[in-house]
Structure 1
Amino acid sequence: MNGTDHSNPVHETLVAYGAPLVSWRPVRHMALEQALVQGLGLSHAHPALFRVLPLVLLRNVHALDWERLHELARDASVEAELGLLVELTAQAMGRPELMQGVATLRPPAEGTLRFFHEPRSEFGRELARQRTPPVAKRWGFWLDMSEDSVRALVQKHSA
């Protein structure tokens, strides 16, 4: 993910925690939990940011304060996004133990789905509808990101 402002504290912090975001310096401006929550909030407008969050989660799962993460996610109204991130990562990487971290989060009531990233065209909308993994629908989102793409990104940057 490239940007013209090379001093964004969320991006820099995520890079410091292992996000492969080119053009950003690794500087820890905030705690891991705060960076993840702020990253989730920003990721609706920046699809590349959401794509690297599973890697940050996996690289730092041992250091996460899940209670603090839940509190911050609730305060920022990104609990569904957090549930999606953790469950998508757990399924894609065969790490069911990650689900313990979000066991107390509840997906939204079934019904309306919203696009995680607003598609640029009707073709993009249809593509997201076709590619959305069941886990994303469970958390209330249409998402143009499969478990396979999560797995591929993590494996690429773990080698």
Structure 2
Amino acid sequence: MNVRETHLKGCFIIEPTVFKDNRGYFFESFNTKNLNEALKKNINFVQDNQSYSYRGVIRAIHYQTGEYAQAKLVRVLSGKVLDVAVDLRQDSPTFGQYVAVELSAENKKQLFIPKGFGHGFSVLSETAEFFYKCDNFYNKDSEGGVIYNDPRLNIDWQLPYDEIKVSKKDLELPVLENARL
């Protein structure tokens, strides 16, 4: 497993070791001990989530606050997405900055997103199955978000404007400066 920290402290790109032969391939997608050693953290994932989306879908910048804040380990089971993590830690020198990583079934990369970050992705393939582990349970009262086209963040979702599909709920999210962090 190759683990490297992005320019956002605590946010890591993880590339598993893939063993290929004439039958196909094998890789270990998750191992608590190895991940905790690599990240120098003690992460205990308690919830798995999975979504299926069509090309052009942007699942906006979501997060949870307070005691329900979540760290996530995300990956793509089929298809390809642009995965985005936004630093929302107000005391961070990289507050309001983001990292964008192409995750796909082919490259098998994963992104570890620490607590205090917002998260979103755009679907670049015809369809995509997205999978993520969370270290805390979802709590509706603690959820927040930032609109996908916030001009301050200026995220390039790598989609033509006329292909973008966003839920009504995500279109009503505030810009970063008005978000409840």
Query: How does the TM-score come out when normalised to structure 2?
Result: 0.27
Larger radius of gyration: 2
Higher relative helix content: 1
By relative contact order (CA 8 Å, sep 6+), the higher-ranking structure is 2
Higher relative strand content: 2
Query: How does the TM-score come out when normalised to structure 1?
Result: 0.29
